[in-house]
Amino acid sequence: MNNEDLKKAIDFYRSLVQEEIASEKIVDGKPIGPRTLIKKDHLDLNDIINPERSFLGKDVTGDLDSVYVTTFRIGNLKKPMSLAKSGYGTDIIAGIEMGVNLVKTGIIKNFDDISEFLAKYKVGILDIFKEEEIKNGKRLDIRVYECIECAGLPNIGEPICYYETGMIIGILGELTHKEVFAEEIRCWTSGYSFCQFDVEIKD
Ligand SMILES: [Zn+2]
């Protein structure tokens, strides 16, 4: 994906984000997006085989995008959801280790490399939407579009991108040598068409 296509995708999703946030509901203190809520506590194979990735899937022939996205997701069905999401669960720790290693091995050397890496390996389209100074650090509003973990999944009432949350913590922590906190606050699986991470980099 070249820079022009990335920009097009970001412009498209930014307007969608605005619409979806405008029509969200707050349930038990958490935002739930406009997509119909489906009562289930885990995802099954039928849910994961149809990713919706019109930008990342564009330069791939046939339904190959759906094939490798499904392969990635099958890996995640190998463990119980309760393990993946428990506090600093296995997925977050795995993501942190991956993120740290991406920097240590020099694959990611700066913020620009993050976006390039994620697009090249079709993990997602990165949008650092907002960056602001706060007391003792910095706060970032990071969005990921067409996320390999969740794009196209049903709304089950809660975000599931723990691995990607960990990757953000690992990459940013290793690049800045500061303490980083990240939480996914909006996701396909909580009813939106994007992932949004609330990130703090502590001084
Ligand atoms: Zn997500």
CA distance 101 to 82: 26
pLDDT digits (tens, 9 = 90+) for 87-131: 567 889 999 999 999 999 999 999 999 999 999 999 999 999 999
CA 186–ligand 1 middle distance (angstroms)? 7
| pLDDT for 200 beyond 60 | yes
CA 191–ligand 1 middle distance (angstroms)? 10
Three-state DSSP at 199 gives strand
CA 189–ligand 1 middle distance (angstroms)? 7
| pLDDT for 56 beyond 90 | yes
CA 144–ligand 1 middle distance (angstroms)? 8
Do 144 and 195 form a contact (C-beta atoms < 8 A)? yes
In the chain, domain spans = 3-202
Do 34 and 23 form a contact (C-beta atoms < 8 A)? yes
pLDDT digits (tens, 9 = 90+) for 126-161: 999 999 999 999 999 999 999 999 999 999 999 999
CA distance 163 to 175: 18
More confident residue, 85 or 37: 37
pLDDT digits (tens, 9 = 90+) for 4-34: 999 999 999 999 999 999 999 999 899 999 9
CA 93–ligand 1 middle distance (angstroms)? 17
CA 94–ligand 1 middle distance (angstroms)? 16
CATH superfamily of 3-202: Trafficking protein particle complex subunit 3 (3.30.1380.20)
- pLDDT at position 45: 79
- pLDDT at position 133: 96
Do 202 and 179 form a contact (C-beta atoms < 8 A)? yes
CA distance 127 to 11: 10
CA 175–ligand 1 middle distance (angstroms)? 23
Percent of the chain's residues with pLDDT above 90: 73
